[in-house]
Chain A
Amino acid sequence: MSTSVTASPAKSAAPGLRTPRKKHTPGKPKRNVLLTVLMALMVLYTVVPLIWLIINSTKTQAGLADSNGLWFAHDFALWDNVRDTFTYHDGIFGRWLLNTLLYVGLGAGGATLLAVLGGYALAKFQFPGRRAVFAVVIGAVAVPGTALAVPTFLMFSKMGLTDTPSAVIIPSLVSPFGLYLMWVFAAEAIPTELLEAARMDGASEVRTFFQVALPLLAPGIVTVLLFTTVATWNNYFLPLIMLKDPDWYPLTLGLSAWSSQAQTIGGDVIFNLVITGSLLTILPLIAAFLFLQKHWQSGLAAGSVKE
């Protein structure tokens, strides 16, 4: 997973958004071996658990117990493990994968859409209550999200939404972080004159948004989509409290259920499937990050955290 990355150019500033960093002419900094070695240690810390995961997903339950954690066992059982992961318990893992895709598709997709629309409005319109919205959104998110989970559960339970996919999807629709990113991004990426010109030509607000604003927002949208996808794909606490029926579990909840079933009396010990399932769970996201890195990094650099 590492080799494909090295080739990509370090391109951080979104083209056209700010003047490119000028080349540092007086004495380009010398590359430093010591610094590189220190960073390599940091990378080691980062990848050792991932390597451990890859190596151990090739082992059987027995092999896990009696082999060294950082080297392969004599039997190579990766493909058996993958097959067993998907067939165990009538193929529930596949069901969890589909659930996760559903939650990500509707939750993260919807969150991105709402954030793009809202961020655009905050950046490009003056309207009554604009400051108040900022204050309320920022104030409310300082309340720890998990502290809201229990009252949200009780509320949703009264509305008959718990134990259904909507209980997971609806709360995922709001990404204050996404709204903030889009707000800052839209403020920089869309010249107000362009909007004025479109309006002068008689374009409706909706048409102006889709034909003028949206294309300019693309790098920001990719960034927000990626971050809301990670948040939804990795979500654990919300489905944990909202869902009882394993048929509606996302991958994260399913994996933790598999892991803790070893502790129950008479429970099947399937750590090999937990490990292989974990690997299968992280691969899509890591792939998405690597393939889209140029886009999301430029979206992030366009002022998201600039003062």
Chain B
Amino acid sequence: MTTLQPPVAAEPRPAPPPAKRDRRSWTGWGFLGPFVAVFALVFLAPIVYSIYLSLFRNQLIGGNQFVGLDNYTRALQDDAFWGAVGRVALFLAVQVPLMLGIALLVALALDSGRLYGKSFFRITIFLPYAVPAVVATLMWGFMYGTKYGLVGDINSAFGVTLPDLLSPGWVLASIGNIVTWEFVGYNMLIFYSALRVVPTSLYEAAEIDGAGQWRIIRSIKLPAIRGAIVIATIFSIIGSFQLFNEPSILRPLALNSITTDFTPNFYTYSLSFNGQQHNYSATVAIIMGVITMIVAYAVQLRGMRKEA
């Protein structure tokens, strides 16, 4: 979850049409062209290439052979793949609501004007976003450990034995904590920026009508930032389905808990770079991309429909 994903949900309000729109001109392409050229090279071409790859199989004898949809049939019956999908789905179901819920509460608290030291809170909670996933995972990984970590210190200080956070039963939750730590502030900022542009006159009107704070939050603030919530949810879904950095960096500390097919992305990576199965790896990546798009699209439809 290192790269920023663009908001998929809300189309920006289209620019007001130029005052004199007699004819459409190609001038705009002069400015947009460079972006589109690089975009085609690093987004579109790999997608096309990946589809092409997924239709072939590289055999020791016979070389590259067209196999049609064989790779897809194989993936649909692949327990390792579905195990990985199940794992990220579980992760998604628990971590995303938790993280977004906290982010929303923090944003509402900041927006309420009832805090001492508001700007201190805002910037501090956002800071982990500047920390690379590598560093965040290494820090938490050390802290989870019983040797150098806080867990070890707590154990010896209080004479207790906390569960091993890097054991197979706990490692997914441990990763969830790292991801939450990294992105709660980022999501908080999305919500907070959206709250700031709600006209305060709405609150005043509501207060005159006798609405309490909770009522204002429920009836004005939350509906007003629904678009931001949908966007943040879609970001987080894409992020969860892409989960790779945290488990891969944590793996040396938790070899038994994190297998090379821990997440779908980890699986494609291992297939390609340890197994040299480029064609099958491309197939798995495509299926995962399709699953992600379907889920993201469903969330968007649901989020937007409610608005109507």
- Majority DSSP secondary structure for residues of A touching B: helix
Quick check: is A104 within 8 A (CB to CB) of the other chain? Answer: no
A205 within 8 A of B: yes
> Which residues from 124 to 167 on chain B have a C-beta closer than 8 Å to any C-beta of chain A?
124-136, 138-140, 142-143, 147-150, 152-153, 157
Tell me whether B122 and A10 are in contact (CB under 8 A): yes
Q: Say whether B121 contacts A43, CB under 8 Å.
A: yes
Contact between chains at A170 and B194 (CB < 8 Å): no
Does B249 count as interface, using CB distance less than 8 angstroms? yes
**If the complex has contacts A121-B29, A126-B24, are A260 and B148 also in contact, measured as CB distance less than 8 A?**
no
Q: Chain A contacts of B244 at CB under 8 A?
A: 146, 237
Whether A285 is near chain B, meaning CB under 8 Å from some CB there, is yes
Q: Is B76 an interface residue (CB 8 A)?
A: no
Is A265 at the interface (CB under 8 A from chain B)? no
Q: Given A155-B46, A187-B12, A192-B16 in contact, is the A49-B140 Cβ separation under 8 Å? A: yes
Residue among B125, B157, B201 making CB contact with A46, cutoff 8 Å: B125
A243 on the interface (CB 8 Å rule)? Answer: no
Q: With A and B bound together, what is the CA distance between A68 and B12 in angstroms?
A: 51
Q: Are B120 and A65 in contact, CB atoms less than 8 angstroms apart? A: no
A70 contacts chain B at the CB level, 8 A cutoff: yes
A138-B8, A174-B42, A271-B148 given as contacts; is B130 within 8 A of A285 (CB)? Answer: yes
A236 and B197: CB pair below 8 A?
Answer: no
Q: Say yes or no for B72: interface residue by CB 8 A criterion.
A: no
Min CB gap B246→A, angstroms: 10
Q: Which of B189, B197, B241 has the most C-beta atoms of chain A within 10 angstroms of its own C-beta?
A: B197
Q: Which A residues touch B13, using CB under 8 A?
A: 184, 187
What CA separation (Å) do A95 and B121 show in the bound complex? Answer: 36
Interface stretch of the complex, out of B62-70, B78-86, B280-288:
B280-288
Chain B, interface residues (CB within 8 Å), range: 35 or more
Residues 272-307 of A at the B interface (beta carbon under 8 Å): 274-275, 278, 281-282, 285-286, 288-290, 293, 297, 300-301, 303-307
Of B27, B128, B138, chain A has the most CB atoms within 10 Å of the CB of B138
Give A84-116 interface residues, CB cut-off 8 Å to B: 114-115
Contact among A5, A27, A175, A234 with B207 in the assembled complex (CB-CB below 8 Å): A27
Does B47 belong to the interface (CB within 8 Å)?
Answer: yes
Contacts A32-B115, A140-B44, A155-B46 hold; do A282 and B193 have CB atoms under 8 A apart? no
Asked whether A123 and B126 contact (CB < 8 A) given A151-B47, A209-B31, the answer is: no
A301 / chain B contacts, CB cutoff of 8 Å = 193, 196-197
Q: Check A46/B5 contact, CB under 8 A, given A174-B42, A256-B138.
A: no
For the A-B complex, the count of residue pairs with Cβ-Cβ distances under 8 Å equals 381
> Which size bracket describes the interface of A in this complex?
35 or more
Q: How far is the CA of A289 from the CA of B137 in the complex (A)?
A: 21
Q: Which residue of B lies closest to A116 (CB)?
A: B31
Q: Which chain B residues border A10 with CB–CB below 8 Å?
A: 118-119, 122
In the bound complex, CA of A13 to CA of B272 (Å) = 47
Interface membership of B181, Cβ < 8 A: yes
Are A22 and B197 touching (Cβ within 8 A)? no
Residues of A within 8 A of B18 (CB): 124-126, 192, 195-196
Per the 8 Å Cβ criterion, residues 1-60 of A in contact with B are 1-2, 5-6, 8-10, 12-13, 18, 21-22, 24-33, 35-36, 38-39, 42-43, 45-47, 49-50, 52-53, 56
User: When each residue 59-79 of chain A gets 1 if its CB lies under 8 Å from chain B and 0 otherwise, what string results?
Assistant: 000001100111000000000
Which A residues are CB-close (under 8 A) to B45?
Answer: 155
* Residues of chain A whose beta carbon lies under 8 Å from any beta carbon of chain B: 1-2, 5-6, 8-10, 12-13, 18, 21-22, 24-33, 35-36, 38-39, 42-43, 45-47, 49-50, 52-53, 56, 64-65, 68-70, 114-115, 117-118, 120-130, 133-134, 136-138, 140-155, 170-171, 173-180, 183-184, 186-187, 192-193, 195-196, 205, 209, 227, 230-231, 233-237, 241, 251-253, 255-256, 259-260, 262-263, 271, 274-275, 278, 281-282, 285-286, 288-290, 293, 297, 300-301, 303-307
Known A126-B28, A177-B4; 9 more pairs at CB < 8 Å: A117-B35, A141-B8, A151-B282, A184-B13, A230-B4, A234-B131, A275-B138, A278-B134, A288-B130
5 closest Cβ pairs, A-B complex: A125-B28, A121-B31, A127-B28, A118-B35, A234-B132
18 A-B residue pairs with CB within 8 Å: A26-B204, A26-B207, A32-B114, A35-B114, A39-B121, A52-B142, A53-B135, A69-B142, A69-B152, A125-B31, A128-B26, A137-B39, A151-B285, A174-B39, A179-B35, A187-B13, A301-B197, A307-B228
